[in-house]
Amino acid sequence: MESKETIYIVGAGISGLIAAYELERAGYFPIILEKSDGVGGRVRTVSIGGHRLDIGFQVLLDGYPMAKKYLDYETLNLRRLASGAQVYVDGRRYVIGDPLRDLKMLVPTITAKIGSIGDKIKVLRLNAQMKRKTIDEIFESDEMTTLEYLKNFGFSDVIIDRFFRPFFAGVFLEPELRTSSRMFEFVYKMFGQGYATIPSAGIGAISEQLKNKLSTTEFRFGAEVNKITSDKIALKTGKKIDHSGVIVTANASSLISNMRDQGTDWKSCMSLYFEIGNSNLPEETIGLIADPEKLVNNIYGYTDTDGKQILSATVLEFNGKSEKEITAKVEDEIREYCGISALNHICNFYIEQALPDLSNLKMTAQPGESILMENVFLAGDVLYNASLNAAMESGRLAAQGLLEKKTGILV
């Protein structure tokens, strides 16, 4: 059944694309208003100097329930990252990983000076616990910081500082590990039951695939929204649009009068890209710099589509340095650690709003909970937890909430 009601979606990020997909399935012809020139929001890949570069180093955890529901992994041609990492500490490097997935990891992991044998036994115990614990149980458990969680589990400061802190600082974009233990358990479980992957065409291929699944959705790029009411959308240009329903995936408090500020804080980072020669970092392996005095948190090397070796470096704290100073310092650090024979700087991305800084995390909600006011619904990972999975789930629930309101039928 086709509907003649006009439904708008503000934002062509992951949440907006999923919402459009669900609305199309119900017979609607949604219109997406996007202020930028393309889809994806924070999940985009750009071409610079002939290189495909992700705007911020990101991975797809292929165990995410919503990713399995909405994405075609085969078409994405996923590059699977190694089930481990290379840790740089005290002038040495150690390869560690999950020997149950890759037997070659057994001896290096046992002998690596990143924690005691007792610590490594506790890692196996944590692995077993997360395999048994359901996602619902994770998001119903008491919250504490990730650092408190690790200490309560009995891990030593050595393994926390040499593995957990650098690894999960790269995931959570904050080195203090103050992120909720619910998020830690969820991500840890996803790493354990699946793989960290990157589409061969870059992380933006996820957004493009979701866009290409849409057939009746209209995209209006360069359309910046200024204000939303229960029946109208006002654009920055002054134009006003009537609507029968709208799903807002952007910061709603800046668009809706008299709405209490959502107060979402954001974590930022900088991603620097280099074309390199030979290095000691194995391909498709994350390198962790376990030295708090260094700028670089993690590095990742891969072969571009043109056969060139590319290295990304992620910086979380800038210490008041200029971009030029950061670039020079990062170059020095990766030369020092990676033994690189040649280094050519490509570009930097500063991502001011890389991840929402959230507490009181949840996995999902009822569709009706996404309604903000008459005919206006909210979506976005800020509603649940900072993940691609939550972005997809929130888009699905916002669309279902709108459909239930329109039809009076539970979707």
Q: At which of 194, 217, 245 does a domain end?
A: 194
**Shared-domain flag, residues 144 and 276:** no
Residue 359 pLDDT more than 70?
Answer: yes
Query: What local confidence, expressed as pLDDT, does residue 1 receive?
Result: 43
Judged against a pLDDT cut of 50, whether residue 194 lies above it is answered with yes
Per-residue pLDDT tens digits for 122-157: 999 999 999 999 999 999 999 999 999 999 999 999
b vs e for 282-293, b when ≥16 Cβ sit within 10 Å of the residue's Cβ?
A: eebbbbbbbbee
Identify the CATH number of the domain in which residue 368 sits: 3.50.50.60
Percent of the chain with pLDDT strictly greater than 70: 96
SS3 track for 227-284: EECCCEEEECCCCEEECCEEEECCCHHHCCCCCCCCCCEEEEEEEEEEEECCCCCCCC
Pair 256, 374 in one domain: yes
Is-contact 33 162, C-beta < 8 A? no
Give the domain-ending residue among 165, 194, 223.
194
Q: What is the pLDDT of residues 255-303, one digit of tens each?
A: 776 565 556 789 999 999 999 998 999 888 999 999 989 999 999 999 9
Q: Is 2 within the bounds of a domain?
A: no
- Residue 379's pLDDT is what? 94
Structural domain range at position 393: 8-44+203-264+359-407
What distance, in Å, lies between the first and last C-alpha atoms of the chain? 15
Tell me the pLDDT of the chain averaged across its residues. 92
**Residue 300 belongs to some domain of the structure:** yes
Q: How many domains does the chain have?
A: 3
Residue 286 and residue 351 share a domain: yes
Query: Which of the two residues, 147 and 411, has the higher pLDDT score?
Result: 147
Q: What is the pLDDT of residue 389?
A: 96
- Structure confidence at residue 340 (pLDDT): 87
Q: Which of 194, 214, 241 is at the close of a domain?
A: 194
- The answer on 253 and 286 residing in a single domain is no
Number of helices and strands (H, E) in the chain?
13, 21
Other CB atoms within 10 A of residue 392 CB: 27
What pTM did the predictor assign?
0.94
Does residue 302 fall inside a structural domain?
yes
What does the pLDDT look like over 13-44, one tens digit per residue? 999 999 999 999 999 999 999 999 999 999 99
